[in-house]
Amino acid sequence: MMQKISVLLFLIWISFLFYAGIALFTSGFLLTRLELTNYSSCQEPPGSGPLPWRSLGEPGACWMASRFSRVVLVLIDALRFDFAQPQRSHIPGKPSVSLPFLGKLGSLQRILEIQPHHARLYQSKADPPTTTMQRLKALTTGSLPTFIDAGSNFASYAIVEDNLIKQLASAGRRVVFMGDDTWKDLFPGAFSQAFFFPSFNVRDLHTVDNGILEHLYPTMDSGEWDVLIAHFLGVDHCGHKHGPHHPEMAKKLSQMDQVIQGVVERLENDTLLVVIGDHGMTKSGDHGGDSELEISAALFLYSPTALFPRAPPEEPEVIPQINLVPTLALLLGLPIPFGNIGEVMTELFSEIVDFQPHSSALAQASALHLNAQQVSRFLHTYSAAAQDLQVEELHRLHNLFSKASADYQRLLQSPQGAEAALQTVIAELQQFLRGVRAMCIESWARFSLVRMAGGAVLLAAACLLCLMISQWATSPGFYLCPLLVPMAWGLAGAIVCVGLLATTELKQDPVVLGAVAAMGSLLHFLWKAWAGWGSKRPLAALLPTPGPVLLLLLIRFAAFFSDSFVVAEARATRFLLGSLILLLLAQLHWEGKLLPPKLLTIPRLGSSAPTGSPQHSGMHALGLGVGLLFCIRIAGLFHRCPEETPACHSSPWLSPLASMVGGRAKNLWYGACVGALVALLAAVRLWLRRYGNLKSPEPPVLFVRWGLPLMVLGTAAYWALASGADEAPPRLRALVAGASVVLPRAVAGLAASGLLLLLWRPVTVLAKATMGTPRTRTVLTPFSGPPTSQADLDYVVPQIYRHMQEEFRGRLERTKSQGPPTMAACRLGNVYSAAMVTALTLLAFPLLLLHVERISLVFLLLFLQSFLLLHLLAAGIPIITPGPFTVSWQAVSAWALMATQTFYSTGHQPVFPTIHWHAAFVGFPEGHGSSTWLPALLVGANTFASHLLFSVGCPLLLFWPFLCEHQGSQRRRQSPGNEAEARVGPEEEEEPLMEMRLWNAPHDFNVALLQLSLKYLFVLGIQILACALAASILRRHLMVWKVFAPKFIFEAMGFIVSSVGLFLGLALVMRVDGAVSSWFRQLVLAQHR
């Protein structure tokens, strides 16, 4: 027991080293910019000098007199720019293009044609990340979001910076909001009236929009408002659910067109209408990245009074989205928010009725100068509080602003006859504002090089430690308990640091504290290792000899430094996995081990192994390799194309069945998906029955018999409801909605119950007492008294085990004489792998439920690939008794590559736009209320399902060669010969011990588990280390925030999930091991009585 605890604690400490390195690197790489809490006010002008001439003597004037007293802001989430474009007339000679989203907002085009001086359509460019919370923050503050803020899209927090909503409330304006409840968290208590609706359910296209329409027109007619904000979500949700090319998108855009018409009809002359999209969407309907389709959004402005002196241009102007913030502030007579870096839209400040010469240009220059004064004040305050702005560029911009401001002040003294000078001032002010924005975009990706270097060093040290200990574990005299010493030192150091901080009341970053504790324990361990090994053996002896597998790992390590390879990692992983399989086949051929598993490699007492057909042996391993390569190729058909490869077309099989239009095709696919479920269940049950694991009356066995079919039935029923929910009759929709809640929860509950039963009774053995006298030579050696030591158990257990197997096969005949009681039992040879396979199956069904229906085919391929790979890895590996037991680097590397391949085959990519948000609503169609951890858990389980399954099943790499021993014994019994001698001969009647060989050598068993786990952590660790080094070295690369930073985040989360899964798999193995020992103790006692 102490050895098991030592293994788990040491692995926990190793993982802590990785976690500390990841956290320290992240804190230096993904820092958020400094958020100032300063606020603008009417009493404090942004700079020296008089206010603009228009505000002098006008009532209610602040920095500039208001032009509108009311604003209606219609925010259509994910309104991509081309959604607002008109349907182009067909040009002869060119193929006509008819897309569902084109031409559906016809009211915008009619207004632009009929009232060209009253309206404008702009193409607004959003700053990435294009997630809703970050866009709302930018649209109200005029600032730039930081990359790490994308994680806050699950839980939005109140904005502390100055913003338009706060300025409106301070000015006493009545702000009415209706729509997305994200605003509730961003601006708590800021609205005079609000109608919030849950926003996170991307499957619901109508609840939010219909709720807004219920209140929109009555609120407008009441007149009890100054600013009305309506945030519609149907277009965004339609994109997530169906994509922009689905007919549902045309219906939703047509609904939005009717909304705009209704609002325009109710506008008064003093009201400005703003229709804007916060971001766009990709061809698949996702967003979050920085592709052209994601950052391109529509912006439409309209007023019943004339706004613009000229007609709109043929091609809409492209402007940064944050330019709307200072523009609205000055048009409403408000101060520009303190942290704004946007530029006013000068067209809106032109004089339509121009009684004075040059008044339009002067009005534009006045608005720009106010804007520039506000930005200059912000730069001065920010640079004094933070040192992350470029000093030289800051100085250049300051000189540029000083010159433009001086020119502007001169023009105010003599405004007549200075048209050319005014245009020069306007150009200088615009150059200053655009230069500031460019500098901030570049500078706010600030890094802490010390933390990044410290995190990378910790990751590298942890990888080196995994490599050294995994090699050291195979040496004679290796003991597990001394490994706990460095962990104790690290814990003691952490306690001392915490105590010092508590007594001195110093504030210390917990990330730094954890890194210091990790580094302290690591240094102690490395010093001891160097001192101990330096005198006895060279350090190089602890490192593995370079070989083809390490070369493949090195290639994979180097590939993370290329954005092209990261983008094409799905194909590269399949290539590396296929190459590794071919290498395994070649290695088996070179070593002469292209054999059926264990047929010629397991010696028997007093017998010689029969020789098999070399042709049959070679075809066996070759068939495994070819089948595995075929499965990898088929799994590659399920792929999602990165946005950087426009020529690629994503697999249509990754979309849900509900998005399919044809009923017959949908039914055929539904049948295929259910067939995959049934095939998966049948394969698992046949495998368990083959090894005799379904003959026990234990609760886990009964659950496998009856619980798993119920889970399959519940999953199939839920898929049927989900794929046809929109087609359900109105009278049945309530029943369908209720079943959509109950069925997924029932499947998850059944899976949890099965896992609990498995932990409670993990040994599924059928044992019964009989009376008989053995006729064979294999008998129980007399043993007096109960066992008192491990040596006693090691002496008697193998005999009991063989004796039970003989009884179970009917080799002991009943006689009239009363002999001592004997026990019959099902095979214990696969007691570990049976528990692992059962646990993986129970985990797979709820994880599968979080994916779309057709991913069930990928899960079936996953299990088939794993089965073929395990058999191929086991081919030709001899069983050594009593040990040591090792798992090759080829096996661990192939297992890790297969986990990555499955990640891509389930429709994922290491970028935020491809996250499957719909998983958060499986079983919770109405949302989660204020809870954020549960949807995050569901989405995370969907994203990292492959990491979890393969890490939990990692111990199968150790067990499978022993499990394949069963095939050798079966083939030997089927060999031609004298049947009577085969029945009587004790050697032929003996059953292989299989996995019980591990139980008979507990020290070697625990060391093998430790070595396997360290190798797996090493393979995963070098991936996260490569991503960290690539992100740090290429931190100024053009693709750092598009490719390298998301890849690092996904690899870090994948490593955490994989390490946790590995602990769970080891814990299950140790639980089974303890149950087997307890069962044998009870059996020995019963036999003695």
* Tens-digit pLDDT profile for residues 954-974: 999 999 888 876 555 555 445
CB atoms near residue 472 (< 10 Å): 17
Between helices 391-413 and 359-385, what is the axis angle to 10°?
A: 150
Band (pLDDT 50/70/90 cuts) for residue 469 is: confident
Query: What is the phi-psi region of residue 103: left when phi exceeds 0, alpha when psi lies from -120 to 50, beta otherwise?
Result: left
Query: What is the predicted pLDDT for the residue at 604?
Result: 33
Work out the pLDDT band at 982, boundaries 50, 70, 90: very low
Measure the CA–CA gap between 1017 and 406, rounded to whole angstroms: 63
Nearest partner of 591 among 962, 875, 165, judged by Cα: 875
Amino acid 15 reads: S
Q: Tell me what pLDDT residue 478 has.
A: 67
Q: Name, in order, each residue with C-beta under 8 angstroms of 843's C-beta and a sequence gap of 6 or more.
A: 751, 755, 948, 949, 952
Which is higher by pLDDT, 1009 or 878?
1009
pLDDT of residue 814: 45
Cis geometry, peptide bond prior to residue 820 (ω within 30 degrees of 0): no
Looking at residue 864, what is its pLDDT?
93
**70-76 and 227-232: which strand pairing?**
parallel
Q: Cis (ω within 30 of 0) for the bond into 128?
A: no
* pLDDT score for 692: 74
The answer to whether 743 and 720 are in contact (CB under 8 A) is no
Mean pLDDT of 571-583: 91
Q: Residue with structure tokens 């324990």?
A: 521
Q: How far is CA 862 from CA 551, 628, 655, 905, in A?
A: 26, 11, 19, 10
pLDDT band at residue 354, thresholds of 50, 70 and 90?
very low
pLDDT tens per residue across span 313-325: 888 899 999 999 9
pLDDT at 877 over 80: no
Cis upstream peptide for 59 (omega within 30°): no
Separation between Cα atoms, residue 322 and residue 334, nearest integer Å: 16
Cβ-contact 656, 852 below 8 angstroms: yes
Say whether pLDDT at 272 is over 90.
Answer: yes
The answer, yes or no, to whether residue 373 has pLDDT greater than 70, is: yes
The pLDDT, as a whole number, for residue 828 is 72
Q: For position 613, what pLDDT does the model report?
A: 42
Instruction: Answer for the pair 180, 278: CB distance below 8 angstroms, yes or no.
Output: no
Average pLDDT for 604-628: 58
Q: Which amino acid is at 678?
A: V
pLDDT at 154: 43
Closest alpha carbon to 247 in 292, 205, 281, 289? 205
Checking if the pLDDT of 651 tops 60, the result is: yes
What pLDDT, on the 0 to 100 scale, is given for residue 943?
A: 94
What confidence tier does 1074 reach under pLDDT thresholds 50, 70, 90?
confident
How much of the chain, in percent, has pLDDT values that exceed 70?
A: 76
| Sequence-distant (≥ 6) Cβ neighbours of residue 540 within 8 angstroms | none
Band the pLDDT of 329: cuts 50, 70, 90.
Answer: very high
* The residue to which tokens 């085009």 are assigned: 109
**E strands along 247-396, which residues?**
271-276, 296-302, 318-320
- Across-strand partners of 119? 302
Pairing of strands 271-276, 296-302: antiparallel
Name residues whose C-beta falls within 8 Å of residue 928's C-beta, 6 or more positions apart in sequence: 200, 920, 934, 935
> In this model, does residue 44 exceed pLDDT 50?
yes
Mean of pLDDT values over 827-854: 89
| Cβ-based neighbours of 473, under 8 Å, separated by 6 or more | 884, 1007, 1010, 1011, 1014
Q: Identify the top-confidence range among 34-38, 153-157, 958-962, 1024-1028.
A: 1024-1028
In this prediction, residues 174-181 reach a mean pLDDT of 92
Question: CA separation (Å) from 446 to 146, 277, 741, 762, 1036?
Answer: 10, 29, 45, 52, 10
CA distance 419 to 422: 5
List all residues 6 or more positions away from 914 whose beta carbon is below 8 Å from its beta carbon. Answer: 284, 286, 640, 907, 908
Which residue matches tokens 């029945």? 983
DSSP H stretches of helix in 809-854: 831-849
* Range 533-546 average pLDDT: 54
Mind listing the pLDDT tens digit for each residue in 1015-1025? 999 999 999 99
Contacts 24+ apart (CB under 8 A), 131-137: 131/279, 131/287, 131/288, 131/912, 132/77, 132/180, 132/182, 132/199, 132/236, 132/278, 132/279, 133/182, 133/186, 135/278, 135/279, 135/321, 136/182, 136/183, 136/186, 136/278, 137/186
Q: How far apart are alpha carbons 15 and 6 in whole angstroms?
A: 14
Question: Are the C-beta atoms of 833 and 964 separated by less than 8 Å?
Answer: no
Note the pLDDT of residue 219.
94
Predicted confidence (pLDDT) at residue 90 exceeds the cutoff of 60: no
Q: Quick one: which of 299, 351, 307, 304 has its CA closest to 325?
A: 299
Answer with the residue of higher pLDDT: 486 or 385. Answer: 385
**Is pLDDT above 80 for 87?**
no
Taking residue 529's Cβ as centre, other Cβ atoms within 10 Å add up to: 17
Whole-number Cα distances in Å, 650 to 236, 566, 626, 646: 20, 17, 26, 10
**What are φ and ψ of residue 63, in 5° steps?**
-75, -35
Q: Which residue has the tokens 């949890």?
A: 752
Q: What's the confidence (pLDDT) of residue 274?
A: 95
* Strand residue runs (E) in 480-549: none
- Give Cα 65 distance to the centre of its chain: 49
Report, as an integer, the average pLDDT of 602-612.
36
Residues, the chain, total? 1089
Q: Is the dihedral of CA 417, 423, 426, 431 positive or negative?
A: negative
Pairing of strands 296-302, 119-125: antiparallel
The Cα-based distances of 259 to 73, 217, 699 in angstroms read 12, 9, 59
Q: Please, are residues 961 and 879 in contact by the beta-carbon 8 Å criterion?
A: yes
To which residue do tokens 């080094």 refer?
Answer: 1029
DSSP state of 705: I
Rounded to whole angstroms, the Cα distance separating 11 from 1014 reads 8
pLDDT of residue 806: 59
Phi, psi torsion values for 735, nearest 5 degrees? -65, -40
Whether the pLDDT of residue 518 is over 80: the answer is no
Mean pLDDT, all residues of the chain: 80
Question: How many of the other CB atoms lie within 10 Å of CB of 926?
Answer: 13
pLDDT in the model for residue 980: 41
Strand, coil or helix: 612? coil
- The candidate with the shortest Cα–Cα distance to 11, out of 716, 699, 1017, is 1017
Residue holding tokens 């044992």?
767
State both tokens at 396. Answer: 């250049």
Residue 898: pLDDT band with limits 50, 70, 90: very high
| pLDDT over 90 (residue 594) | no
Closest CA to 394 of 344, 426, 435: 435
Which has the higher per-residue pLDDT, 866 or 131?
866
The CA distance from 739 to 745, in Å, is: 10
* DSSP state at residue 657: G
Where is pLDDT greater, at 354 or 415? 415
d(CA 349, CA 365): 9
Q: Is the pLDDT of residue 818 over 50?
A: no
**Burial of residue 7 (number of CB atoms within 10 Å: 0-12, 13-18, 19+):** buried
Alpha-carbon distances, residue 711 vs 674, 718, 751, 857, 941 (angstroms):
12, 11, 8, 17, 18
Per residue in 698-725, pLDDT (tens digit) is: 788 889 889 999 999 999 999 988 887 6
**Which of the four pLDDT bands, split at 50, 70 and 90, describes residue 680?**
very high
Binned at pLDDT 50, 70 and 90, residue 512 comes out as confident
- Residues 831-842: what's their mean pLDDT? 92
The better pLDDT of the pair 753, 420 is held by 753
Alpha carbon 703 to its chain's center = 31
User: In this model, does residue 257 exceed pLDDT 90?
Assistant: yes
Quote the pLDDT of residue 614. 41
**What pLDDT does 1042 receive?**
78
